[in-house]
Amino acid sequence: MIDVTEYTLWAQSDKNKSKSWVSSNDASIYNGSELKEGLESPNNIFNLPEEKSLPGDDVPVPYYIVGVNAFGINKSLMNPFPIRNMEHHDRIFNYRLSRARRVVENAFGILAHKFRVLLRTMNQRPGTCRKIITTCVILHNLIRLRYPATHNNMMDLEEQNLNVIPGAWRNDKVLLDVYHERARNTGTQEGRQIRTYLGHYFTSKAGSVPWQDKMIL
Mind listing the pLDDT tens digit for each residue in 110-158?
998 899 998 888 888 989 998 999 999 999 999 999 998 888 888 998 8
Confidence of residue 104 (pLDDT cuts 50, 70, 90): confident
Distance CA(45)–CA(124), nearest Å, equals: 30
Distance CA(46)–CA(180), nearest Å, equals: 27
Task: Provide the whole-model pTM.
Answer: 0.77
Handedness of CA 126, 128, 134, 137 (dihedral sign): negative
| CB-count burial class (<10 Å; 0-12, 13-18, 19+) for 99 | middle
The mean pLDDT of the chain is 82
How many domains in the chain?
1
Say yes or no to pLDDT of 203 above 60. yes
Confidence of residue 6 (pLDDT cuts 50, 70, 90): very low
Distance CA(106)–CA(113), nearest Å, equals: 10
> Which residue intervals of 153-188 are DSSP H helices?
173-178
**Which range of residues forms the domain containing residue 31?**
2-215
* pLDDT tens-digit series, residues 45-88: 888 889 999 999 999 999 998 887 777 788 988 999 988 889 99
CB 116 within 8 A of CB 108: no
Distance CA(62)–CA(48), nearest Å, equals: 9
Quick one: how many helices (H) and strands (E) in the chain? 7, 9
Say yes or no to pLDDT of 28 above 80. no
Q: In terms of Cα–Cα distance, which of 85, 62, 88 is closest to 188?
A: 62
Say yes or no to pLDDT of 211 above 50. yes
Query: What does the pLDDT read at residue 26?
Result: 35
